[in-house]
Chains A and B, each alone.
Chain A
Amino acid sequence: MNDASERERVVVIDDDYAMRLSCRKILEKLGFEVETFDGGAPGLEAVARLNPSLVVVDLKMPGMSGMEVIPRVREINADIVIVVITGYATIDTAVDAMKSGAYDFLPKPFSPEELRLIVNRGLERRRLALRGRQAEMERELLKRRFVSFVSHQLQSPLSAVHQYLSVLQRLEGSADVAAKRREWHERCLRRIEDLQALIRDWLTLAKLEGQCLAQRRVRVDLREAVQAVLAGNAEIAAANQVSLESRLPDGECAVTGDPNCVSVLLDNLITNAIKYNRPGGRVTLAVAPSGDEIEIAVSDTGAGIPEEVRPLLFQEFFRGDPGASGTGLGLAICRKVAAEMGGSIRVESVVGEGSTFRVRLLAWREPAQREP
């Protein structure tokens, strides 16, 4: 099941020879690299040396008991999943084992299927935990870099504009500069507009932190909102050779929220879908009711988003492509705006095919209908 180069390692500690043998057989069949030991002391020594993903340990052994082994394994590496085997499966022993850090327990006798299930489940949880920790660390790093990053983002456009103007002043009168003046003015305006966009996005975020936005919960007609955002982005889509499509259900199609927030949300998603697309690509905005909610799905046909960066997508200043224009705040704003309105946002993506951002917002209910 696993690649030979990255086979996960399992250490089995049990004083019963037959048990060690059968555990080894079952686990090796699953593709794990298995080492077995007949007691707590050599087992622990091996855990420290081999750093396995998972330890299977018998509770009742002569010498060091399983109950003593558990906390020592946790000391070596708290990410190691511990599965306990016990011949006297009482609720109490199981609870004690779990309290001291075991993931789960298997009462003897158990079937190969039971061992397989519990091991795979434990390892899956470990993988999720490790991945979550990774994302957490990267978030922390982003936060620490925030101040220097922000000041750089704010200073760069200003000092570029400053430099255009001062070089123009310095070379006043030279024929060279006369020809460039127009183009340089354009560039100055562009840099100032970028800076304004950054400040605007930043203020939107700050307002969301202070919860001044999305105070209103009114009926927002999605049909109108979608039409407005598509019309507003038609020009930029054409310039990028991207076609815009929308799919709306027949009949009533409204959410509960703030009209401005819904526009900000849709606009950010559509802008991204156009920007991170390919020439000749397509952006689809599909709206569909889903229980008490309405789902808005914005899909692109771009390069897709690698799995490892997906947890960071909604972080402030995270940029999918650092070379692309934009402030790095769009998706952070989307997530906050959606949450403010009682909704959610998530992403699905296939590298090489494209991404879909799914926003769920509360469907509009007439006030009278809300009463019990």
Chain B
Amino acid sequence: MSSAKLLVIDDDRDYRTTVRCLLESEGYAVSEAASGDEGLSRLAEERPDAIILDVMMKCCCEGYGVTYAIKFRPEYESFRSVPIIMASSIEQAPDELFAMAGEVGMIQPDYYVTKPLDIARFLGVVKRALGTR
């Protein structure tokens, strides 16, 4: 189970470096993407077991778009069940942040953690995400 594959989508290369190192030390295989588009385009080749996804990249809500694409766009149908762990410095998850707007479910990830990561908690979330696959 430790050989599970994780895809880290984040435009901050320092974040990718540390998350990769941390996850590799736990025995996971890690691949990286520096933007939402790159992340989506690598899904087919990487076939990750879970996705760790930043929100504010080049565009300020890129992570929401990626979530929507994976959960609802037909071309990513085969990845629909891949759990998404959203990691952002924004305090609230989309369902809280946009509580007033309808259809928030479309951009709601499976898990939400805030940056900077609480490492023990983050690793717990990763484990849970992979377990519920």
Choose among A152, A160, A163, A167 the residue with the greatest number of B CB atoms under 10 Å from its CB.
A163
Kindly identify, within residues 64 to 123 of chain A, every residue whose CB is under 8 Å from any CB belonging to chain B: none
Which residues from B are CB-within-8-Å of A180?
A: 21
Contacts of B2-35 to chain A: CB distance below 8 A: 12, 14-15, 17-19, 21-22, 24-25
Complex CA–CA separation, A187 to B115 (angstroms)? 18
Other contacts beyond A167-B21, A176-B24, A184-B18: 8, CB < 8 A: A149-B60, A156-B12, A160-B14, A160-B15, A167-B18, A167-B119, A176-B21, A180-B21
Chain A interface residue count, CB cutoff 8 Å, equals 26
- Report B82 CB to chain A, min CB distance, Å: 24
A145-B117 in contact given A152-B89, A160-B14 (Cβ < 8 Å): no
Chain B residues closer than 8 Å to A171, beta-carbon distance: 21-22, 25
Q: Contact check, B119 vs A159: say whether CB atoms are below 8 A apart.
A: no
10 tightest A-B contacts by CB?
Answer: A162-B116, A159-B116, A160-B14, A155-B89, A167-B18, A163-B18, A159-B115, A163-B116, A167-B22, A170-B119
Distance between Cα atoms of A148 and B59 in the complex (Å): 12
Say whether, besides A163-B15, A164-B14, A166-B119, A156 and B89 are in contact (CB < 8 Å).
Answer: yes
Output the nearest chain A residue to B25 by Cβ-Cβ distance: A171
Asked if A159 and B18 sit within 8 Å, CB to CB, the answer is no
B61 to nearest A CB, angstroms? 10
B:81-120 near A, CB below 8 Å: 89, 115-117, 119
CA distance A358 to B116 in the complex (A): 43
Interface centre among B21, B115, B119 (most CB of A within 10 A): B21
How many CB-defined contacts (below 8 Å) exist between A and B?
Answer: 54
List 7 A-B pairs, Cβ < 8 Å. A145-B60, A151-B89, A152-B56, A156-B12, A160-B14, A164-B14, A171-B25
Nearest B residue to A148 via CB reads B60
Interfacial chain B residues near A167, Cβ < 8 Å? 18, 21-22, 119
Contact partners of B89 in chain A: CB under 8 A: 151-152, 155-156, 159
**B63-84 interface bits toward A, Cβ cutoff 8 Å, 1 = contact, 0 = none:** 0000000000000000000000
A145-B61 Cα distance, complex, nearest whole Å: 12
Count, chain B residues at interface, CB 8 A: 18
- 8 Å CB contact of B14 from A155, A166, A177, A187: A187
Are B116's CB and A166's CB within 8 A? Answer: yes
* Chain A residues with CB below 8 A from B15, complex form: 160, 163
Interface membership of A174, Cβ < 8 A: yes
Q: Which residues of B contact A160 (CB under 8 A)?
A: 12, 14-15, 18
* A323 to B38 Cα, complex, angstroms: 15
| Interface membership of A251, Cβ < 8 A | no
Inter-chain contact B56/A163, CB cutoff 8 Å: no
Interface residues in A168-211 by Cβ distance below 8 A to B read: 170-171, 174, 176-177, 180, 184, 187, 191
Q: Is the CB of A164 within 8 A of B58?
A: no
A63 at interface (Cβ–Cβ under 8 A)? Answer: no
Mask: chain A, 117-154; 1 = CB below 8 Å from B; 0 = not: 00000000000000000000000000001001101100
**CA of A158 to CA of B89 in the docked complex: distance in angstroms?**
11
A323 to B56, CA, bound (A): 13
Report how far A174 CA is from B115 CA in the complex, Å.
24
In whole Å, how far is B26's beta carbon from the nearest beta carbon of chain A?
10
Cα separation A148 to B55 with both chains bound (whole Å):
13
What residues on A are CB-neighbors of B60 within 8 Å? 145, 148-149, 152
